[in-house]
């Protein structure tokens, strides 16, 4: 039982490049979430999705794009990466927007 | 969702019970108390949650005061692997999680 996985686990990219972080869950959970974690800010919600083809903004959505064509996948795209987007990104899922289960994270560095 | 107040850090001895307090004096009747923890460099891990009754699972116990204005997470026999940041979060069903600063717990041998 894989649960929730994220790929890649580590990524280095350059300013201006497009980057996509992948999130996959095997529980058929309805809800999926993307967070970023920075020193001094804790975890902040970027986007979330209540079901396939339904997404909504969180606290810090600017510079990010999400899609959810399939229930099990929730990719996060940085269309033109900036240094301020250097962070650790966590994906999470939950059945009914209650208890969330988190992935292992992706450490992204933008040079 | 109501705000929570937790100590910034605390130490506890390996093998002893760890009692982590959380104040949530403005909690509403429909808000749950959730506890998560984050071990260094890992994703947050769900521990337990409750509404008004005390709860216990294989990881911990959650004690909520009768007025629901505070709660305590109890790790019955702390191990070195319990060293982590513990987050107390209050939220209504369907609302999103909002993580605060948490309590940094160091379990010492």
Place of tokens 């929570």: B4
Give the number of other CB atoms < 10 A from CB of residue B90: 23
Please count the CA atoms within 13 angstroms of the CA of B70 that sit on its side-chain side: 9
Mean pLDDT for A9-34 is: 96
Residue-level pLDDT at A98? 82
Are B46 and A101 a contacting pair at CB < 8 A?
Answer: yes
Q: What is the pLDDT of residues B76-93, one digit of tens each?
A: 999 999 999 999 999 887
DSSP designation for B80: G
Are B42 and A58 a contacting pair at CB < 8 A?
Answer: no
* Chain A nearest C-alpha distance from B76 (Å): 22
Asked whether the beta carbons of B30 and B5 are under 8 A apart, the reply is no
Q: Among the residues of chain A, which ranges form H helices?
A: none
Are A97 and B96 a contacting pair at CB < 8 A?
Answer: yes
Reference A67, options A92, A49, A86, A84; nearest CA is A49
Kindly list the residues from chain A whose CB atom is less than 8 angstroms away from the CB atom of residue B90.
none
Residue-level pLDDT at A1? 56
Residue-level pLDDT at B85? 95
- Pairing, β B45-50 against β B31-38: antiparallel
Q: A53: phi > 0 → left, psi -120 to 50 → alpha, else beta; which?
A: left
> b/e for A90-106, b at 16 or more Cβ within 10 A?
bbbbbeebbbbbbbebb
Q: What is the pLDDT of residues B13-24, one digit of tens each?
A: 999 999 999 999
* Chain A nearest C-alpha distance from B94 (Å): 5
Report the C-alpha gap between A31 and A8 in whole angstroms. Answer: 21
Residue-level pLDDT at B18? 97
Asked whether the beta carbons of B106 and B50 are under 8 A apart, the reply is no
* Chain A nearest C-alpha distance from B66 (Å): 23
Instruction: Select from A33, A58, A102 the Cβ nearest to the Cβ of B45.
Output: A102
Within its chain, how far is the Cα of A84 from the centroid?
A: 16
Chain A residues touching chain B at CB-CB below 8 Å: 33, 42-43, 45, 48, 58, 90, 92, 96-105
Report the C-alpha gap between B89 and A25 in whole angstroms. Answer: 24
Kindly list the residues from chain B whose CB atom is less than 8 angstroms away from the CB atom of residue A103.
43
Q: What does the block give as tokens for B71?
A: 């709660």
């Amino acid at each position: 039982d894989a649960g929730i996985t994220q790929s890649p686990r580590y990524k280095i990219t350059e300013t201006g490049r497009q980057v996509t972080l992948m999130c996959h869950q095997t529980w058929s959970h309805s809800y999926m979430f993307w967070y970023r974690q920075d020193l001094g800010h804790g975890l902040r919600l970027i986007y979330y999705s209540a079901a396939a083809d339904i997404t909504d903004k969180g606290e810090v959505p600017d510079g990010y794009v999400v899609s959810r064509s399939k229930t099990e996948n929730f990719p996060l795209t940085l269309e033109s990466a900036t240094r301020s987007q250097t962070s650790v990104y966590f994906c999470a899922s939950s059945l009914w927007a209650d208890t969330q289960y988190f992935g292992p994270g992706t450490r992204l560095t933008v040079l | 969702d109501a705000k929570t107040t937790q100590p910034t850090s605390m130490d506890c001895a390996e093998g002893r019970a760890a009692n982590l307090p959380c104040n949530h004096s403005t909690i509403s009747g429909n808000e749950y108390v959730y506890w998560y923890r984050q071990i260094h460099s890992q994703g947050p891990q769900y521990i337990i949650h409750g509404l008004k009754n005390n709860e216990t699972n294989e990881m911990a116990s959650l004690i909520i005061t009768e007025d629901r204005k505070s709660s305590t997470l109890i790790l019955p026999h702390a191990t070195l692997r319990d060293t982590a940041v513990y987050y107390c979060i209050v939220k209504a069903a369907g609302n999103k999680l909002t993580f605060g600063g948490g309590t940094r717990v160091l379990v010492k041998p």
